[in-house]
Structure 1
Amino acid sequence: MAEFGDQGWNSEISPIRDKVFEYIKNAILRGEYKSGDRIVERELAEKLNISRTPIREALFRLESVGFVKTMPRKGVVVSKMTTEEIVEVFTILSTLESLAVRLATEKLNAEHRQNLENLIEAINEALAGDLNDRDYSQFHLEMRDTIHLAAQSPRLYEILKSQIEYIRAFAFVSHETSERRRRAFEEHRDIAEAIKEGNASLAEELAQLHIENSKQSYLESLEKMIGTSKES
């Protein structure tokens, strides 16, 4: 099925290679391509009705940010996240999140204050009901987005977004228990409240605690997966 070639996109507005990059990245995020799956240039070219050149360029870019890797005799495959990579990414996230909440506190204006108040109210409403997987996944992104945007640093926002997407792609989206899910909501609410109250030190402390708890949840999930794999 043609995806790109029949739509007449203007390459001056958005180059095809950028669209291919987003297409493959989103396919990985949606789980259409899973860890270890091959991505074949020829098949994608036929599916998207484009030449292989922009696909090759997009795959090179995806490899540079860790989404795929080139394997001998296999070609391009979707990456797998190791324990070491989980620790590394969350260590980076801890520093970036701390910076984001401090900037958000220092730069807080009326618009972002209102956004944080709306977020706190939405979290409390969610906590009063059921936290199903679909709502949680989307709302979790919205919570992070509201806090990160309050920092008013576009470059920091993009860096954080790329790291979070990397985790989403490879670190077991369904890793969290209902208890951890609820606690994550509470942690985001507490961070938003600290920013709203102008307490940068507390906001940083809470952000670091949230990242540490998330890291431990991912590591426990990986350990269980490894154990299950060995048993089978």
Structure 2
Amino acid sequence: MQSEPSPFAGFADQLKLDRRAVRLRELAYQAIKQAILSGAIDSSAPLIEERLGLMLQISRTPVREALAILEHEGLIEALPYKGIFVKVVTVESFLKMYEALETVEAALARQAALRADAADLAAMEHSLGRAERCVPHDIPGHLAACRMFQRQLGACAHNPYLADFLVGIEERADLYLISTWHTLPADKMRAAIHDRRVILAAVQARDPEAAAQAAEAHAQAARQRWRALFSSAL
């Protein structure tokens, strides 16, 4: 009996190629993003596809796709007749971001207190330990560990949409700190960790209202700390 021709003939081979393309795009995306958020890329230098492809040893196509994602996330911007650059974040935008964090982080903390399990709590504790070990000299490492805490908070809240929004705001806020401040006061770094430990304690206690209040207080206090730091530098 002759088999019926498949409507998906050739699809398997194409799928293999597509998966490889996705992997390369993801690798390029993660590598460029990490370089941006670690301060390794000069914000005054254009991001050139060909040059990035040579450094990553891949073709320009996955680099172009990765840059499109990063532009959508607000970490880079295309300037007419100039090229693509790391986005410049202003002080005003930075402080507005922390206003948004108050509401979003509080909602996630409230949900996390109801849903977190032992593994979630251990992961968040580990991230805060990493953040502490980075004080005072490793600013990008400290900020990355704090962002990981936020992502884990969102994961145990079982709300990936709010979590992605929260981490996206944190990344853009951190971009300002990394591009503008080569050093940060150790007391402000430790204060950020302390605030998150209060959030974690409320989540561990299964107290959603206390967790939400701690998250709101953290965002408000952080905004005040940064505003004071920026004012003192003027």
Provide the TM-score with structure 2 as the length reference: 0.75
Unmatched tracts of structure 2, length 5 or more: 1-15
Q: Distance in 2 between matches of 1:98 and 1:80?
A: 28
- Residue number among 139, 147, 170 corresponding to 1:164 in the alignment: 170
Q: Is 2:186 aligned against 1:182?
A: no
For residue 144 of structure 1, what is the aligned residue in structure 2?
150
Distance 1:46 1:186, change over 3 A: closer
Q: Distance in 2 between matches of 1:22 and 1:120?
A: 19
Provide the TM-score with structure 1 as the length reference: 0.75
For residue 160 of structure 2, what is the aligned residue in structure 1?
154
Distance 1:152 1:74, change over 3 A: same
SS of corresponding position for 2:19 = coil
Q: Is 2:94 aligned against 1:86?
A: yes
Q: Distance in 2 between matches of 1:159 and 1:220?
A: 26
Larger Rg computed on CA atoms: 2
- Residue number among 51, 54, 71 corresponding to 2:79 in the alignment: 71
Deviations 1:5-64 (A, max 9, x none): xxxx97515342232222211110121113333111221233333332332222222112
Distance 1:16 1:131, change over 3 A: closer
For residue 45 of structure 2, what is the aligned residue in structure 1?
37
Aligned length: 213
Unmatched tracts of structure 1, length 5 or more: 1-8, 228-232
Distance 1:175 1:99, change over 3 A: farther
Identity %: 23
SS of corresponding position for 2:89 = coil
SS of corresponding position for 2:40 = coil
Distance 1:81 1:133, change over 3 A: same
Q: Distance in 2 between matches of 1:71 and 1:151?
A: 38
Distance 1:73 1:120, change over 3 A: closer
Deviations 1:170-215 (A, max 9, x none): 3236564222222222211111111222222221111111112222
Which moves more between the two structures, 94-103 or 211-220?
Answer: 211-220
SS of corresponding position for 1:70 = strand
For residue 204 of structure 2, what is the aligned residue in structure 1?
196
Deviations 1:83-102 (A, max 9, x none): 23213322222221011101
Counterpart of 1:132 in structure 2: which amino acid?
P
CA contact (8 A) 1:71 1:77 kept: yes
Q: Distance in 2 between matches of 1:100 and 1:189?
A: 15
